[in-house]
Amino acid sequence: MPVTATALRQDIYRILDQVLETGVPVDIERKGQILHLVADKPRSRLANLVRRECITGDPEDIVYVDWTEEWKP
């Protein structure tokens, strides 16, 4: 949904920061025309990923699990 020029004027710095941080372009409607506000160098999609620790403990413990007691042929 395009942003009006008035809404852009009221909140220009937040909108500019949003385009820079997310890389998502913003459409601006002015006098019946649509303008596209796009970052010059789009942000990498990988840059938006949040680092998470998925394994707690030693990863080697997962590799060398003894399943002999659990396994039933």
Structural domain range at position 37: 3-49
Question: What would the two tokens of residue 31 be?
Answer: 């006098």
Indicate the number of domains in the chain. Answer: 1
CATH number for the domain spanning 12: value is: 3.40.1620
Which residue's entry shows tokens 């590799």? 63
In angstroms, what CA-CA distances link 15 with 26, 55, 71? 8, 37, 57
Question: Average pLDDT, stretch 63-67?
Answer: 78
60 falls within a domain: no
pLDDT tens profile 18-41:
998 888 899 999 999 999 999 888
Residue 39 falls inside a structural domain = yes
- pLDDT of 45 over the 90 cut: no
